[in-house]
C-alpha cells in the first residue's frame, strides 16, 4: 500500500505489486502497518506523547547456558559503561541482551562486533556464544489522537516502551476490540457509531499503558535529581 485517501463513505488505497499498481476502494481500513505506518504518514497524522533520548543496544546471542531463565537486570553493571543492562532467555538457545547507551553515542560504532563482543564476554564470563543479531532502538511513549474510517491498531496507533510487553498485549487487545464491532456494523446489526467506541476505549487503554511504561522508564533512566531519589 503506497497511499490512503479518505472518501465521504469509504477509503481509496493505492497498491503496488510486482505486476503493477492498482487502486482499491473499501468501506473500512484497519491500518495495522506498524510503527512506520504508511497510512499514518499519508494522512499527515502525528503522535502525541514523549520520545526518550536514551538508546539501547540489542544483541541476540546463541549459546547453551545454565543461567536461571528469569529476566536479569543490572543497574550500573561492572561489565558495561552504560547505566543498565538486561538479559533474558528466548526460544532455541537464544539469549537477548539489552545494553543502555548514552543518548549522544555513536550508534554505528556501538554496533560494531569488535566493540560488542568484548562487552558480552565480560557480561557472560565466557566466549562460548554466537552473535545472531545486533540493533539499536529508542523508547517512545505516544499515541494517535484520532480515528475515522481508517482505524489504526497496534504500533501504528500507539508506541510504548518494551517494559512489561505492553505493546504486543495492547495490539492484540486492539484487534479483539475492533473485530466484533466492525463485524456488527458490516453485518447491519449495529450503527457505524459503534466504531467510535473503539477510539474511546483503546485510547484510554493506550494512555494507561503509556503512563505505566513511562513511569518504569523514568525509574530505569532517571533524568533529574528528583527522579534519581
Say how far apart CA 16 and CA 116 lie, in whole Å.
Answer: 39
Asked if 33 and 74 sit in the same domain, the reply is: no
Residues 157-185 have pLDDT tens digits of 888 776 666 778 889 999 999 999 999 99
Asked if 152 and 42 sit in the same domain, the reply is: yes
The tally of domains found in the chain comes to 2
Residues 186-211 have pLDDT tens digits of 999 999 899 989 988 998 888 888 78
- Is the pLDDT assigned to residue 84 strictly greater than 80? yes
12 within some domain: no
Boundary-marking domain end, from 139, 163, 185: 139
Boundary-marking domain end, from 94, 109, 139: 139
Average pLDDT over residues 141-164: 78
Task: Give me the pLDDT at residue 180, please.
Answer: 97
Asked if 186 and 77 sit in the same domain, the reply is: no
pTM exceeds 0.75, yes or no: no
Asked if 129 and 170 sit in the same domain, the reply is: no
Residue 186, domain extent? 28-47+147-220
Boundary-marking domain end, from 123, 139, 155: 139
Tell me the torsion sign for CA atoms 94, 98, 99, 103: positive
Asked if 185 and 108 sit in the same domain, the reply is: no
Asked if 172 and 62 sit in the same domain, the reply is: no
Asked if 55 and 41 sit in the same domain, the reply is: no
CB-based contact 159:35 (threshold 8 Å): yes
Res. 142 pLDDT band, cuts 50 70 90: low
165 within some domain: yes
Which tops the pLDDT comparison, 83 or 223?
Answer: 83
Say how far apart CA 226 and CA 229 lie, in whole Å.
Answer: 5
Res. 216 pLDDT band, cuts 50 70 90: confident
Amino acid at each position: 500500500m503506497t497511499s490512503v485517501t479518505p472518501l465521504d463513505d469509504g477509503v481509496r488505497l493505492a497498491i503496488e505489486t510486482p505486476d503493477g499498481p492498482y487502486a482499491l476502494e473499501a468501506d473500512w481500513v484497519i491500518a495495522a502497518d506498524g510503527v512506520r505506518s504508511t497510512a499514518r504518514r499519508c494522512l499527515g497524522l502525528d503522535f502525541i506523547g514523549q520520545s526518550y533520548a536514551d538508546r539501547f543496544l540489542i544483541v541476540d546471542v546463541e549459546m547453551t547456558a545454565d543461567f536461571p531463565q528469569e529476566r536479569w537486570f543490572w543497574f550500573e553493571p561492572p561489565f558495561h559503561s552504560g547505566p543498565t543492562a538486561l538479559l533474558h532467555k528466548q526460544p532455541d538457545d537464544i539469549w537477548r541482551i539489552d545494553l543502555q547507551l548514552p543518548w549522544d553515542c555513536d550508534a554505528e560504532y556501538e554496533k560494531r562486533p569488535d566493540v560488542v563482543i568484548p562487552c558480552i564476554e565480560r557480561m557472560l564470563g565466557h566466549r562460548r556464544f554466537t552473535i545472531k543479531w545486533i540493533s539499536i532502538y529508542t523508547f517512545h511513549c505516544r499515541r494517535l489522537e484520532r480515528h475515522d474510517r481508517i482505524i489504526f491498531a497496534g504500533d501504528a496507533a500507539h508506541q510504548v516502551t518494551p517494559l512489561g510487553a505492553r505493546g504486543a498485549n495492547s495490539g492484540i487487545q486492539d484487534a479483539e476490540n475492533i473485530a466484533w464491532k466492525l463485524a456488527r456494523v458490516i453485518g447491519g446489526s449495529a450503527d457505524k457509531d459503534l466504531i467510535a467506541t473503539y477510539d474511546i476505549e483503546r485510547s484510554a487503554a493506550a494512555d494507561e499503558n503509556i503512563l505505566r511504561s513511562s513511569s518504569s522508564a523514568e525509574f530505569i533512566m532517571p533524568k533529574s535529581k528528583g527522579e534519581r531519589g
